Amino acid sequence: MGPLESASDSMAELDALEAEGVKAFHSAANADELETARIAFLGQKQGRVKSAQERIKTIPSDAKKAYGQRFNAVRGALENAWEDGKKRFDKPAAIIQGLDVTLPGRAPRLGHLHPLTQTATELIDLFGRFGFSVARGPEVEDVFHNFDALNIPDSHPARDPLDNFYLPGGFMLRSQTSTVQIRVMEKQPPPVRVIAIGRVYRPDTVDATHSFMFHQIEGLMVDRKVTMADLKTVLRLFAQSYLGEDVKIRFRPSFFPFTEPSVEVDMQWHGGDRWVEMGGAGMVDPNVFRAVGYDPDKYSGFAFGLGIERLCMRRHGIDDIRLLYKNDTRFLEQF
């Protein structure tokens, strides 16, 4: 075999090496097969590229340059084919890079319901067990539902523009959830057993116990022969369920235009001598029944309206109502 033949055989071998190598890298079905191909072709010890490189010593000097150039091209092509293969299989490894599975986990921060929402949900649940269903009314209310139908006369100080958010056109932001009593009775005949929970608005100066917006729970029960004893029983059972068996509540004679007789309901504040008003209550005034077309000779009922913030504050020992509206997560996270 002459030197020329030997050189052209060697060139043919480089062609074959390139074709087989590229095929091996491209057809590798997984990282293991790719690695087997890498060892066979690009392996430093016995790889075929390495052998082809060593063969250059045996190439006649006049063919060395061409062989060398071709060899470099083949080696480059095989390295590229291997890189391509790595890209196909390396992805998971790339994601896992930098992941230390032995590090302690970082718990995701869970959100939860605002304490006032928790209170509202619990009240709905509690009164649900006493047979009360939930009613709703609008926060933008007309003056008729907020005052007239509740037997609050034109001259009554509760209508003072300085004590209410009036809107154009005979509307206002409701100042009490008692409005919902009227809306319910307008729509359905007795018997009625509902609560309504929602926001009410009064232009009070904000301090530790006042806000221009707060929440009330309104209750209304109408049937034949409902008495004040029913009212007191329901409120006492409610207070004990929500605030604890040992909680004391008391009823003080009072006046509301929409109830007769009327009481104010106090709860004992944190066991001490201090009593804090929970809200008002009473037996529905016959004039209110007349306004909604109920017969006051046939039906009687009780109503109550309690402040939700106060209940929530009493339950959790919160001493400043403003904390409930600040949305400071350091505060909210405690509940």
Which chain residues interact with ligand DAH by CB under 6 A? 176, 178, 218, 256, 259, 279-282, 303-305
CA distance 301 to 147: 19
CB of 185 to ligand DAH, least distance (A): 12
Q: Which is nearer to ligand DAH, 10 or 176 (CB)?
A: 176
Taking the CA of residue 100 as centre, how many other CA atoms within 13 Å lie in the half-sphere pointing to its CB?
Answer: 5
Residue with tokens 């006493």: 130
**Contact predicate 291/151, CB 8 Å:** yes
User: To the nearest 10°, the Cα dihedral for 51, 56, 58, 64?
Assistant: 160
- Please identify, using beta-carbon distances, which residue of 141 and 218 lies nearer to ligand DAH: 218
Residue closer to ligand DAH by CB (options 22, 303) is 303
Least distance between ligand DAH and beta carbon 271 (Å): 26
Question: Smaller CB distance to ligand DAH: residue 201 or 256?
Answer: 256
**Residue entry with tokens 């390495």:** 50
In the complex, minimum distance from the CB of residue 310 to ligand DAH, in angstroms, rounded to a whole number: 12
- Helix 31-42 and helix 61-96, axial crossing angle in degrees, nearest 10: 160
What's the min distance (Å) between Cβ of 176 and ligand DAH? 4
Q: Which is nearer to ligand DAH, 85 or 305 (CB)?
A: 305
Give me the least distance between CB of 284 and ligand DAH, in Å please: 7
Nearer to ligand DAH, 10 or 259 (CB): 259
Q: What is the dihedral of CA 173, 164, 156, 303, to 10 degrees?
A: 50
For the beta carbon of residue 287, count every other beta carbon within 10 angstroms.
Answer: 14
Nearer to ligand DAH by Cβ, of 289 and 304: the residue is 304
Is the Cβ–Cβ distance between 285 and 277 less than 8 Å? no
Least distance in Å: CB of 119 to ligand DAH?
Answer: 17
The whole-angstrom separation of Cα 221 and Cα 284 is: 9
Question: CA-CA distance, 209 to 322, in Å (whole number)?
Answer: 8
Residue listed under structure tokens 């066979």 = 40
User: Closest approach of Cβ 297 to ligand DAH, in Å?
Assistant: 20
